[in-house]
Structures are given as structure tokens and as C-alpha cells.
Chains A and B, each alone.
Chain A
């Protein structure tokens, strides 16, 4: 891959994670399970929590690892709408502020598992 193609592919994979797992923007795969799916030459080899009640879903975090030859790219989405003014005003719920820390710990877990 040339440098430009690598950048473009990274951008595509960054977008792809928004359409995988749970709460997808576009439902690409109806069963929500994407492991083994291919995008270009890359194969999705590992994905984080996608099911109700799991730690990753509870914090709005999703990550997928894509592999081609010896390259592995991890793409993630980690912010969610849990930090809403509604929550803060009505329930004094500031838990959304933990999102940054939760996202970081989620990435560490998936890197460990790839």
C-alpha cells in the first residue's frame, strides 16, 4: 500500500467501527456479530463487547481489530450521549464524565486481547 492508500484505508476502518457491533449508525450485519467479516483486504479479527449489560456496552465503548498480513489496525468509538444536560439537571448524574477514562481502559483491554 502506498502512504495515501494506507491513510485512506485507516480512515475507512475508523468509520467502519461506527457501523459494527451495537448501536450502529448503519446496520451492516443483522446479527451484530462482525468477527470474520472482510472490508477490503482487512479481516475483522477481534471485537469488544456488543451485548446488553456488558461493561463495554454500558459505557458506550466499541472497538474492532482489523488484520491484513502482519498489520493490525484497531478502530474504536468511545463517546456516547450519556453525558446529557438532561441527566445532570434532572438526576445530578455526572457519570458521563468518566467516559474518557473508560474509553482508555477499553482500548487497553482490546490491545491486550488482539
Chain B
């Protein structure tokens, strides 16, 4: 086979790959998440705009351990409790479930772009209470906001095994951590055209970028040896997906 034919075959292959790789544009769907807490002085809310990045078409070279990656972007919700300090409703790699489980897509077999269109066309400013407690974000509070090790749990969900399988159990530790009269009341989302919020975390936690590659207790990795297990479970990425500027 001449070099010309080889080049022609290669070009045909590459253009075919390019065509199929470009069958979907991907999208980022933004939503406002609002967390409301009950306090002795009345309800207090905090909100932020997060995004769900839906990937373009699945990668053509798909390795066995490479699920199509839906990404969550944005920051923790900050709830300002005045003299008591701030409660942070954290962001994690599965925070996108807040949106996708609240607006489930049921049309199996449709083209991937149809799914993206579905989420892009959900009416904006239509709020939805997240009923599934499993989807509520983990919430934390700093006893001393200048000391990352002093972080305490306010709210988390844990999986409890039962004879019939597992169940997610709500653990509201507001009263234990913050005092009598505190509780997490609701988590609400609404689709929005507003930009994803960045920068609020840096204002509240100016030390946050010191913990990009280490846990809040100072350890490089998660370890059972830590004296501060809650701090050891957290790093900058639990508070923001932004970049240090």
C-alpha cells in the first residue's frame, strides 16, 4: 500500500472518530441551593449557586474503571448564625445528585443530548424541597474559625445496615454542637441562570488554600491514627471547587 493510501485511511479513521466524539456538547446546569436552620432567634438561611457539569458524549476510549464523569462545581453553603459563627453545608463529588435526583430523567434509550436538553429546559426559579435526607449536604461548624482542627459535625447522613439492607439515617447534631434550639430545617434547590458562586469561602476561611493537598488536621491523607477524625475527613475540596488566585 502506498504512503498516500495509508494517509487516506488514517484521515478517514480520524475524521470518523472526530464525528462521533462531537455528537454532544455537554452542558453546565446551575442551581441555587438554600439551607435553612432553626435557631433560638428564628430561622436563618444561607444559599449559594452550584453547577452540575454534564460531560459531552462518553469517551471513546472508555477504561473499565472510568465512569462518565458528572461533576459538581461551586462552594459550600454558608449559614451565618451571628455571634455563634458560620455553619458550612459542604460540597462533594456526588453533590450533583442534589439536582439530578430531584429532577429524575426517566427516558431510557434516548440520545444523550436529549437528557442534557431535559435539564436545560427545566423551568427556572421553581424551587424544590429535597425530601431525600440522604441528599442533604454534610454540615460543619468551627468552634474556633481560625483553627481548622476545631471543626465539628452539625449534620450528616450515615448508612445503617438492617436485616433487609441498608438505610440512610439522618444525624442532626445541631443541638449537641451548637446548643439548645438549633436544628437543620430544610434544603431547597431551584434552577437558575445565575453564575456559580466562588469567593465566599475564601472570605470566611482565609486559610482554606493551605489545605488543598492535606486534611484539616494537617495529615497528608485520611488516617485512622488522627486525633481529629472530622478534621481528617475534610480538606479545601469539601468547601470549594474553585482555584487559588
Contact mask A49-90 → B, CB, 8 Å, 1/0?
111111101001000000000000000010111011110011
| Closest CB in chain B relative to A36 CB, distance in Å | 5
Knowing A35-B224, A86-B21, A113-B223, say if A81 contacts B61 (CB, 8 Å). yes
Report the nearest A residue to B57, measured CB to CB.
A86
- When A54-B235, A86-B21 are in contact, do A32 and B223 touch as well, CB less than 8 Å? no
- Please tell me which one of the listed residues B65, B72, B94 contacts residue A25 in the complex, with CB atoms under 8 A apart: B65
How many residues on B have C-beta within 8 angstroms of the other chain's C-beta atoms? 49
A10 contacts chain B at the CB level, 8 A cutoff: no
Total A-B residue contacts, Cβ distance less than 8 Å: 129
How far, in whole Å, are A32 and B92 apart by their CA atoms in the complex? 8
A110 interface residue (CB < 8 Å to B): yes
Known contacts A31-B138, A85-B21, A110-B221; decide if A57 and B94 are in contact (CB<8 Å). Answer: no
A47 near B221: Cβ-Cβ < 8 Å: yes
Query: Pick the contact of A51 from B17, B65, B69, B235 — CB < 8 Å?
Result: B235
Among B138, B232, B234, contact of A35 (Cβ-Cβ < 8 Å) = B232
- Distance in angstroms from A13 CB to nearest chain B CB is 15
CB distance from B153 to the nearest CB of A (A): 10
Interface residues of B in 83-101 (CB under 8 A from A): 91-94
A36 touching B224, Cβ below 8 Å? yes
Q: Which residues of A contact B158 (CB under 8 A)?
A: 30-31
Counting CB contacts under 8 A, is B233 at the interface? yes
State whether A89 and B212 are in contact (beta carbons under 8 Å apart), knowing that A48-B221, A113-B220 are contacts in the complex. Answer: no
B66 within 8 A of A: yes
Chain A residue contacts of B223, Cβ below 8 A:
35, 45-46, 113
Within the complex, which residue of B156, B224, B237 is in contact with A31, where a contact is CB–CB below 8 Å? B156
16 sampled A-B residue pairs with Cβ under 8 A: A25-B67, A28-B159, A31-B138, A31-B158, A32-B92, A48-B222, A51-B235, A51-B237, A53-B236, A54-B237, A80-B63, A80-B66, A84-B59, A89-B14, A89-B21, A110-B221
Measured CB to CB, the residues of A under 8 A from B are: 18, 22-23, 25, 27-36, 43-55, 57, 60, 77, 79-81, 83-86, 89-90, 109-110, 113
